[in-house]
Amino acid sequence: MKDARGREIKYLRVSVTDRCNLRCKYCMPNGIECVEHKDILSFEEIRQIAVCGARLGITKIRLTGGEPLARKGCPELIRMLKEIPGIEKIAMTTNGTLVRAILPELVEAGLDEINISLDTLDARTFAAITGQDLLPEVLLAIDAALAAGLKVKVNAVSMPDTDWKRLITLAKDKPVDVRFIELMPIGEGRHSEGRSNEDLLEEIRSEFPQLQADDSVHGAGPAVYYKIPGYQGSIGLISAMHGKFCSSCNRVRLTSTGFLKTCLCYEDGTDLREILRGECVRQEAVSKNQKLLNAMARTIYGKPAEHCFEQPDQITEARGMSAIGG
């Protein structure tokens, strides 16, 4: 469906958990107070919401967290979602450390794409950023996902010390898109220093004067892609701070506790869990589904025109990314 500004909303990001096995310094360096299991949506509740989403025009679902694979049973959830009429693509964003052990089940269940968060190729720096010495496992996960036939993208947060020169080598010999995402002032991101992708692009152009625009389709997201001749993969820039793409934003987010959000910047949204778990008798089950559908439609229609990250005093969202969903 279209929101009040005429944007076609086709993409639902679903956080399945706020838990994570890493402690990245810009996300949850000291851990978080995790939500109790009873308070997060069951897989069946997620499916119900996705069914309504599909009726409203959602065609792509991405599973996020926290770390989505920290929650048991993700292959079964993928299978449930892939069976919904209208849902064409299931993707996942993960830190990659738990992928290999469950990859065959993920692929068999119908996973189409995987984005792996990776900010460095230096083992010591990786441990300093994440709190864990697991870089080799992440690199093996990238290769395993490619071998399994998945479309793979690597996401790095643009920081002053991001070793972009080493990271983009992943795109040289592998069909992997390496993307740099500007740090947003949400949660711990308020206290960390990011860098402009404009500055990063200048550095990349200086190092690779032959860099050229890549207009091929890489997905439905906001990344702007570039190609280095001879490289198998592309370089993507997601510039939420210095390249506002709100006019074409096509997504909404569902937190692990069932709150439907239309913009990272604001606390506004709708508690769908309350509708799902509200009191009703058996004969009212159909009307509950209609309530859910109506609530989602109202929320999507009211999606804000744009974020206000450049004006931090206007940000009303107090939760961190692990609680919202990456």
pLDDT 10s digits, 291-302: 999 999 999 999
| pLDDT mean over 34-47 | 94
Please check whether residue 84 is in contact with residue 50, taking contact to mean a CB–CB distance below 8 angstroms: yes
- The mean pLDDT of the chain is 92
Q: Which has the closest alpha carbon to 14: 256, 212, 202, 235?
A: 256
Q: May I ask the CATH class of domain 11-154+249-324?
A: alpha beta
Question: Residue 67: what residue type?
Answer: E
Residue 317 predicted with pLDDT over 90: no
Residues 6+ apart with CB under 8 A from 38: none
Question: What span, in angstroms and rounded, lies between the C-alpha atoms of 59 and 67?
Answer: 23
Please check whether residue 152 is in contact with residue 114, taking contact to mean a CB–CB distance below 8 angstroms: yes
What is the layout of strands, in order, in the sheet containing 235-238?
A: 212-213, 224-227, 235-238, 177-182, 151-158, 113-117, 89-94, 60-64, 11-15, 251-254, 259-261, 269-271
Instruction: Give the best-scoring range by mean pLDDT among 26-35, 113-122, 186-195, 304-313.
Output: 113-122
- The sign of the torsion formed by the CA atoms of 219, 97, 317, 59 equals positive
Percentage above 70 pLDDT, the chain: 95
Question: Phi/psi at 75 (nearest 5 deg)?
Answer: -60, -40
